[in-house]
Chains A and B, each alone.
Chain A
Amino acid sequence: MPRCCFILSAAAVIFCAGLNAADDAGKVRFFEERVRPVLAANCLKCHNDQAKMSGLSLASREAAMLGGSRGSAVIPGQADASLLIRAIRRTGEIKMPPAGPLAANDVAALSDWIGQGAAWGSAPPRERVTAAHWSFQPVRRPSPPRLRDPSKARNAIDFFIQAKLEEKGIAPSPEADRRTLLRRLSLDLTGLPPTLEEIRAFLDDRRSDAYERAVERLLASPHYGERWGRHWLDIARYADSNGYSIDGDRSIWRYRDWVIDALNRDMPFDRFVIEQVAGDLLPNPTQEQLIATGFHRNTMINQEGGIDYEQYRVEAVVDRVNTTGAAFLGLTIGCARCHDHKFDPISQREFYRLFAFFNNIDELGGNIPDGEGPAFRMQPLLEFGKPEDFVRREALDQQIEALEAELLQYQKTIEKDWESRFELSGDTVEERIPEILATLIEERATIDRGLLSRFFSEKDAAWKARQDGIRALRGALPKLESTLIMRELPAPRESYIHVRGDFTRKGDAVEAGTLAVLPPMKKTDNPNRLDLARWLVSAENPMTPRVTMNRLWQRYFGVGIVETENDFGSQGTAPSHPELLDRLASEFVRHDWSLKAMHRLIVTSATYRQSSAARPDAAKADPVNRLLARQNRLRLEAEIIRDAGLTVSGLLSPAVGGPSVFPPQPAGAGQFTQVDRKWKADEGANRYRRGMYIFFRRSAAYPGLVLFDAPDAQASTTRRNRSNTPLQALTLLNDETQTAFAENLAKSILAAAKDRGERIRFAFETCLARPPNEDEQQRMSQYLARMTDAFATDSEDDGAGSPQEAAWLAASRVMLNLDEFVTRQ
């Protein structure tokens, strides 16, 4: 019976669609035959998508309706009210086309066409997902399905995974061996490979819960917060510079440390979200809660000369909307910036309602003259200093203000008789002076003010002395450490729809609000960012827990349950295991949004613990392993490749947090930016800090990071590429840093054992957490013998040490270059 109903209703849908098409067909034919040729011959030359005279394009129905600088050109169903018709009838101010009136029958055709609804083209009416789309439904809590053979399942996850495998007649893979498991677990939870001691301890632990104990140990490690913090920083588009062309330094590492700390403390994810999105709006926010709001200050700041600051402020606000969409909602909200979303139920109006939440930050924007100091541009900031520093600054600021007023007064006096006062040389600069002086002091252009200032400081010692005094005081201002935060303006900015995404084209005013397709936010009079933050993690919102759990899954298996992790809309892929996704999402909320609880659940599942060896038997039915009949081998992330090298070479400085560091980078790496910023390599322990602490300059990022797909921090990144390129090979083979790792690794190998075989074994265990097999042992031994011979021919005074030492350095290079070394198996 239910099946029968389904067929019936499907037939009905097809029938209706057919009817509509038939009805529309006539209108479309009319458009194609009578309207399009008229538009093409008379209008499109100027009003196309490129030329857009007066902002108007008539190249599509949407464009015509959107209109130009004078408003909508076409109002379907209302010919007389449509600007296009008034223009071609030449009754009003606008008379089109300029070459002369259209033929009367053409005018009539266009008028009839609009009157009948302005049908356009032969393109089918686009399909818009309705609220019925899977991801907009409330999160359910499905029970694990039954398995024919439950013996290989360890927890609920396995029931969902193995049920699908059973359907296809595929058996899950056996558990990976203990060494592989420990290396996998250590890399996944902390981003560091296990040490020899950790491996031995794990192998020696014969208790039945040895694995679970290892999980607990790693979850409690401070490096857990670093590992998972870095994942979050991808989403937060964290970087240590301002971006765009100047790309100056910024200080926001305290936000990075806040993330690490919050994860280490297992801060409930709902609070984690609220504090980052709106910590500043919480009642009596703590310093930590303010630092957390750096999340949405990771937007770029343009410091280029001559720009319109408002344009880049708007870009930052747009980025906040897009990031909120990607990070929490898994929706491509950014598509609705210029027009309604083509596929998902997100209107352009809704985009700007979300925009309104982020539009009131007290940051650089509007019509601000050039030449203000860079410090001003970084506001709002949270500053750190001793109380006396703040007092001193206040006092100095007052002095500076007074001196500036005095200088202004003085300048007004000397401007009056400047021609008689100064000896003039008659150069081109001086020709400009009278013109500048004719303008009121307050209204002079920045460039003119600069010119004048140079003129006066050359000609008038008293003027120069005053200005030098002000400069000296400015130089004496205490330099306070700071971090970028969010702060609301006392009175909100007006938010309006940007016609075609262009902020200079004001559309309707909008008020802050959320997406209609999702459960509504709690009713308040003037919803603010805090209301938005609470809505993102409200019990009714199905997106945030699903999106978060999907991303967690993706980090462990390489691909999410929903492969398009940033698009849960209609253009995204359907979940491979929808019930599992809901189960995880509901479990997450039930565990009070504890991420550690969810990590525990996933890594203790049999699914996670499977071997990652290929399964030719399953490949036919499931070529890309979506059903997870095995684990996936994953190349380590950029930072983790470095961290692994640091760990096995014994060089790692395990310090957590603090200002970003500058390890040596290859010469010439900074050659390609506008401002060739010198990279002064740190000395001491900071050379050996984890990859996530390397100062990240957006326009010239550390080469070793970029080549291994670290995100560029231009926008939120929810999934990294995992490329495999010759330049990566060159880096691992030849980079100075790698050679330093190899040198140190060689030293510890030589110190650890006397015999070549034992040394090889030590090298393999240290780097790969496993001993070599016979073939590997033999191949490495052969290589060592060859290299020892080769180095024996070198002269001794080249500082490379004995031939044997040099050969071990070479062998260490081999270890650090193995595919297995840079892969989590």
Chain B
Amino acid sequence: MNLQKKLFQRTTRRQLFENCGIGVGKTALTSLFVGDRLFASTPAAGYHHAPKAKSVIYLFMAGAPSQFELWERKPELQKLSGETLPPSLLEGKRFAFMDSFVKSPPKLLGTRRAFKQHGESGQWVSECLPHTAQTVDDLAFVRSVHTENFNHAPAKIMMNTGSPIFGRPSMGAWVSYGIGSESKDLPGFVVLQSGPRGPRGGAMNWAGGFLPTSHQGIPFLSGGAPILNMSNPQGFDEKRQAATIDAILDLNRMNLEKYGDPEIETRIAAYEMAHRMQTSGPELIDFSTESQATLDMYGAKPGEKSFANNCLLARRLVERGVRFVQLYHSSWDHHGGPGENLDENLDEVCLSADRGCAALIRDLKQRGLLDETLVVWGGEFGRTPMGEQRDTLGRNHHIDAFTMWFAGGGTKPGQSIGETDEIGFSPVKDPVHVHDIQATILHLLGIDHTKLTFKFRGRDFRLTDVGGNVIQKLLA
């Protein structure tokens, strides 16, 4: 029994250690705890001001939705449909699939979709998104977003990391690094995916880059356990797994006594958290506690790989303190080629996305969570007011002006920010750069984007590079 006594003493030490705790949202500690002592000397920033939002749900519409079919009503573009675009507008611009634009000058394309005004705020939304249209009074549209890269992967990386160069930390990783997470048994930054394919650029979209690895986004799997290796090996039920982890930790404590290396303490804490993740994971994805009405509102069907399910899961994740949830839904890349036309193919993706978005807003609101949860909707760029002739008429990538919307988390609902010209080619009022979006998201979370930096390769890096202004009009 000598051993038991010794272990008890060690346990007391462990508890002391636990109390200064992993996962209590204290990032300076968390960054110590990730065990990379090389970084321990650079404590993360923590809050710079009182946060408005506790968590973010970012609905990333992969492939770039057409603002002209969904949000942007442009009577003048309808009138000019079929006219050749004045070449002066193309001067000095670069586009994807340039050679088709150069060889046959593009013609303007009016939409075939009907628009109506909705809500008290009277926002225009097309027939494609009937459910979202009913929530417009909770949304704030930014109609003048512009970015810098006209190909999917670099533009996605730009939207997520503030740079088109692969390998920088993503927004969720920056946030996790800056203010940590409130969840004790789930990762702070979770990525969900639905639609026919994963986002271009893959893991680079939720990379930790040069930040400590523990801040990178963790992709949840659809079907079965959400995290890789969350289930015990065959033959090990919860009791046996617990006994096994106990044995591992006791032996680690014995070695800790010999070597006194704080890394061993960190590993003990990591195993304890892993074990908590294993027990909370099944509960997280178990939708049986949700009412039928809730499931119906989302259109969620337990066990299905769908955007609707992911929206519901996102709500459950932020309820459990997860800081940043990003949903990728594909594909919105409607060039007009086979499977990517602006007719039934657009219908399909709208149908799969619309209800989940609207339900998420309503559900968060009815649970009193919308105030503290920022919801972001948008793609990596927009689409051209000109048509692109493939098998059918589609639209090419457009980086100069596109639409995103925001809800909750300290944003001012029922408004539109920014305007584009009559054909929607360029912003004419309040242009908003990608870095401005990023600065604003960080601002709402209580972070000053100019102060959240990390020194790497000889200089301080930040999410917004050298740009970014908080969109003041967006704030409540």
Tell me which of A448, A672, A782 contacts B193 (CB under 8 A).
A672
Among A332, A725, A798, max chain B CB count under 10 A is at A725
Give the contacts of A704-754 with B (CB-CB under 8 A): 706-707, 709, 712, 714-715, 719, 721-731, 733-736, 739
Bound CA span A613–B97, Å: 61
Asked if B104 is at the interface of the complex by the 8 Å CB criterion, the answer is: yes
- Between A and B, how many residue pairs show CB distances below 8 Å? 294
Cβ contact within 8 Å between A727 and B243: no
* Interface flags, A406-448, vs B, CB<8A=1, else 0: 0000000000000000000000110010010001000111111
Question: Chain A, interface size: which category?
Answer: 35 or more
Tell me which of B92, B231, B251 contacts A780 (CB under 8 A).
B251
* Least CB distance, B217 to chain A, in whole angstroms: 10
Residue in A closest to B432 when the chains form the complex, CB atoms: A50
A244-B153, A435-B104 are contacts. A699–B203 as well, Cβ < 8 Å?
yes
Please classify the interface of chain A as helix (H, G, I), strand (E, B), loop, or mixed, using the class held by over half of its residues.
loop
Cβ contact within 8 Å between B260 and A50: no
* Least CB distance, B278 to chain A, in whole angstroms: 7
* Least CB distance, B411 to chain A, in whole angstroms: 21
In the complex, chain B residues whose CB is within 8 Å of the CB of A443: 103
* Least CB distance, B338 to chain A, in whole angstroms: 10
Cβ contact within 8 Å between B469 and A50: yes
Complex interface: stretch among A529-537, A655-663, A810-818: A810-818
Cβ contact within 8 Å between A791 and B235: yes
Asked if A673 is at the interface of the complex by the 8 Å CB criterion, the answer is: yes
Give the contacts of B159-174 with A (CB-CB under 8 A): 165-167
Residue in B closest to A731 when the chains form the complex, CB atoms: B229
Cβ contact within 8 Å between B236 and A304: no
Asked if A676 is at the interface of the complex by the 8 Å CB criterion, the answer is: yes
Bound CA span A112–B102, Å: 46
Cβ contact within 8 Å between B227 and A730: yes
In the complex, chain B residues whose CB is within 8 Å of the CB of A208: none
Give the contacts of A374-415 with B (CB-CB under 8 A): none
In the complex, chain B residues whose CB is within 8 Å of the CB of A342: 459
Cβ contact within 8 Å between A819 and B255: yes
Cβ contact within 8 Å between B221 and A668: yes
Cβ contact within 8 Å between B152 and A447: no
In the complex, chain B residues whose CB is within 8 Å of the CB of A701: 203
Asked if A272 is at the interface of the complex by the 8 Å CB criterion, the answer is: no
Give the contacts of B197-240 with A (CB-CB under 8 A): 197-204, 207, 212-214, 218-219, 221-224, 227-236, 239-240
Cβ contact within 8 Å between B433 and A672: no
In the complex, chain A residues whose CB is within 8 Å of the CB of B351: none
Cβ contact within 8 Å between A724 and B277: no
Residue in A closest to B245 when the chains form the complex, CB atoms: A733
* Least CB distance, A816 to chain B, in whole angstroms: 9
* Least CB distance, A737 to chain B, in whole angstroms: 10
Residue in B closest to A243 when the chains form the complex, CB atoms: B166
Bound CA span A779–B257, Å: 15
Residue in A closest to B388 when the chains form the complex, CB atoms: A447
Tell me which of B201, B263, B459 contacts A819 (CB under 8 A).
B263
Tell me which of A439, A730, A790, A820 contacts B255 (CB under 8 A).
A820
Bound CA span A94–B257, Å: 76
Cβ contact within 8 Å between B213 and A707: yes
Cβ contact within 8 Å between A428 and B260: no
Cβ contact within 8 Å between B103 and A739: no
Asked if B350 is at the interface of the complex by the 8 Å CB criterion, the answer is: no
Asked if A25 is at the interface of the complex by the 8 Å CB criterion, the answer is: no
Asked if A567 is at the interface of the complex by the 8 Å CB criterion, the answer is: yes
Among B34, B102, B202, max chain A CB count under 10 A is at B202
Cβ contact within 8 Å between A668 and B228: yes
Bound CA span A569–B193, Å: 43
* Interface flags, A153-197, vs B, CB<8A=1, else 0: 000000000000000000000000000000000000000000000
A616-B260, A674-B197, A724-B263 are contacts. A729–B271 as well, Cβ < 8 Å?
yes
Cβ contact within 8 Å between A614 and B261: yes
* Least CB distance, A606 to chain B, in whole angstroms: 19
Cβ contact within 8 Å between B219 and A672: yes
Asked if B114 is at the interface of the complex by the 8 Å CB criterion, the answer is: no
Tell me which of B3, B100, B222, B248 contacts A817 (CB under 8 A).
B248
Tell me which of B38, B218, B250, B268 contacts A727 (CB under 8 A).
B218
Bound CA span A533–B206, Å: 37
Asked if B50 is at the interface of the complex by the 8 Å CB criterion, the answer is: no
Cβ contact within 8 Å between A726 and B274: yes
Residue in A closest to B330 when the chains form the complex, CB atoms: A674
Cβ contact within 8 Å between A305 and B97: yes
Residue in B closest to A632 when the chains form the complex, CB atoms: B261
- B-side interface residues, number (CB < 8 Å): 104
In the complex, chain B residues whose CB is within 8 Å of the CB of A675: 197
* Interface flags, B242-278, vs A, CB<8A=1, else 0: 0111111011101110111101101110110111011
Asked if B135 is at the interface of the complex by the 8 Å CB criterion, the answer is: no
Tell me which of B151, B213, B392 contacts A304 (CB under 8 A).
B151
Bound CA span A725–B96, Å: 41
Cβ contact within 8 Å between B228 and A671: no
* Interface flags, A451-493, vs B, CB<8A=1, else 0: 1000000000000000000000000000000000000000000
Bound CA span A337–B457, Å: 14
Asked if B81 is at the interface of the complex by the 8 Å CB criterion, the answer is: no
Residue in B closest to A783 when the chains form the complex, CB atoms: B247
A786-B243, A819-B267 are contacts. A245–B201 as well, Cβ < 8 Å?
yes
Asked if A637 is at the interface of the complex by the 8 Å CB criterion, the answer is: no
Cβ contact within 8 Å between A779 and B202: no
In the complex, chain A residues whose CB is within 8 Å of the CB of B243: 783, 786-787, 790
Cβ contact within 8 Å between A613 and B260: yes
* Least CB distance, B103 to chain A, in whole angstroms: 4
Asked if B391 is at the interface of the complex by the 8 Å CB criterion, the answer is: yes
Tell me which of B151, B255, B458 contacts A569 (CB under 8 A).
B458
Give the contacts of A675-691 with B (CB-CB under 8 A): 675-676
Residue in B closest to A447 when the chains form the complex, CB atoms: B100
* Least CB distance, B326 to chain A, in whole angstroms: 11
Tell me which of B201, B248, B259 contacts A814 (CB under 8 A).
B248
Bound CA span A728–B241, Å: 16
Asked if A234 is at the interface of the complex by the 8 Å CB criterion, the answer is: no
Asked if B467 is at the interface of the complex by the 8 Å CB criterion, the answer is: yes
Asked if A84 is at the interface of the complex by the 8 Å CB criterion, the answer is: no
Give the contacts of A534-561 with B (CB-CB under 8 A): 559
Bound CA span A245–B331, Å: 14
Cβ contact within 8 Å between B35 and A723: yes
Asked if A669 is at the interface of the complex by the 8 Å CB criterion, the answer is: yes
Cβ contact within 8 Å between A813 and B233: yes
A300-B166, A779-B254 are contacts. A734–B202 as well, Cβ < 8 Å?
no
Asked if A633 is at the interface of the complex by the 8 Å CB criterion, the answer is: yes
Residue in B closest to A614 when the chains form the complex, CB atoms: B260
In the complex, chain A residues whose CB is within 8 Å of the CB of B458: 332, 335, 343-344, 564, 566-567, 569, 571-572
Cβ contact within 8 Å between B36 and A721: yes
| Nearest 7 Cβ contacts at the A-B interface | A724-B35, A614-B260, A699-B202, A245-B200, A714-B167, A245-B153, A332-B458
- Can you give 28 A-B contacts (C-beta < 8 A)? A51-B431, A243-B166, A244-B166, A335-B458, A370-B97, A429-B391, A432-B389, A446-B99, A448-B100, A504-B94, A567-B457, A571-B458, A613-B259, A668-B228, A674-B198, A698-B202, A699-B202, A699-B204, A700-B203, A723-B34, A724-B266, A725-B270, A728-B270, A729-B274, A779-B3, A814-B248, A818-B255, A820-B255
User: Which residues of A are in contact with B by a Cβ distance under 8 Å?
Assistant: 49-51, 69, 243-245, 247, 300, 302, 304-308, 315, 326, 332, 334-335, 342-344, 369-370, 428-429, 432, 435, 439, 443-448, 451, 504, 559, 563-564, 566-567, 569, 571-572, 612-614, 616, 624, 633, 635, 666, 668-669, 671-676, 698-701, 703, 706-707, 709, 712, 714-715, 719, 721-731, 733-736, 739, 773, 775-776, 778-780, 782-783, 786-787, 790-791, 794, 798, 800, 806, 809-810, 813-814, 817-820, 823, 825
Known: A721-B36, A723-B213, A818-B252. 15 other contacts (CB 8 A): A306-B397, A342-B459, A445-B100, A566-B457, A566-B458, A635-B263, A671-B219, A699-B204, A721-B212, A726-B274, A727-B218, A730-B230, A731-B228, A790-B240, A814-B244
